[in-house]
């Protein structure tokens, strides 16, 4: 559904027209609903993306903006890094306190990185890379495309189709609230929560299986009881 189609549905259900609630106000309501859906789950799998970046000799920190703009660009920008790896090993995530204690910046450490942490919207690698050609593979959650105020009439929200009626229901709730009908507003708010819960069960992220390092012979393994098989035809890391 486009934003214009959602406005039409809202007005039909609430029995109002543009003189009651303008397009701009309805768009703002739908934008609030979009944000409510997006941030109701930490990691929606439909926002997952992959990219790479290449290390620079002597450089620890790589900003999320720089990583997102790397060759396999994530044009919307990166919201969160899920995991990093090279061609032959997983780069382990560690917390800042651990990193401070084990990788003090006043001590010279260089080599192929095998741990990383977040530092001020940047990935910090440990030890400091000693190569200008090491490719780091990134699995990340991208930012959603904004929706609401300023969205053109023919644009649909950056969500799977199953969420579109849910978002329209949120708009109906807000429109009834605007029209000072708390009974109907409460009814549609509860309907929104129920619809969101039902749809979210189909899409909500599940814990990722532990990464597998495959040897030079082709191997497969059922990961973490999910029934999903990951393959490696040559030596390398699968995640």
Which residues share a beta bridge with 237? Answer: 213
**Tokens standing for 196?**
């969101």
* Among 209, 81, 63, 200, CA closest to 142: 81
The structure's pTM equals 0.77
Q: Which residues contact 133 (CB under 8 A, 6 or more apart)?
A: 54, 55
pLDDT of res. 216: 30
Per-run averaged pLDDT (10 residues), the chain, 239 residues: 98 97 98 96 91 94 89 80 95 89 78 91 92 94 94 97 98 98 98 97 62 31 30 39
Peptide bond into 127 cis (omega under 30): yes
User: According to the model, what pLDDT value does residue 102 have?
Assistant: 84
């Amino acid at each position: 559904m486009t934003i214009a189609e959602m406005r039409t549905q809202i007005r039909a259900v609430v029995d109002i027209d543009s003189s009651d609630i303008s397009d701009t106000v309805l768009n703002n309501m739908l934008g609030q609903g979009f944000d409510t859906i997006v941030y109701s789950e930490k990691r929606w799998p439909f926002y997952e993306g992959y990219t790479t970046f290449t290390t620079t000799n002597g450089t620890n920190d790589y900003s999320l903006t720089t990583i997102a703009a790397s060759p396999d660009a994530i044009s919307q920008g990166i919201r969160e890094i899920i995991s990093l790896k090279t061609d032959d090993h997983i780069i382990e995530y560690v917390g800042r306190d651990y990193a401070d204690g084990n990788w003090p910046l006043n001590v010279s450490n260089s080599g192929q990185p095998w741990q990383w942490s977040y530092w001020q919207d940047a990935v910090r690698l440990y030890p400091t890379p000693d190569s200008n050609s090491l490719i780091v593979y990134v699995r990340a959650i991208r930012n959603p495309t904004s929706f609401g105020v300023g969205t053109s009439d023919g644009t649909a929200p950056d969500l799977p189709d199953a969420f579109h009626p849910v978002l329209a229901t949120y708009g109906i709730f807000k429109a009834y609230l605007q029209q000072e009908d708390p009974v109907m507003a409460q009814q549609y708010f509860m309907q929104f929560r129920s619809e969101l819960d039902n749809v979210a069960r189909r899409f909500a992220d599940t814990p990722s299986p532990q990464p597998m390092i495959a040897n030079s012979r082709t191997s497969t393994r059922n990961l973490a009881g999910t029934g999903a098989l990951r393959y490696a035809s040559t030596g390398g890391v699968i995640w």
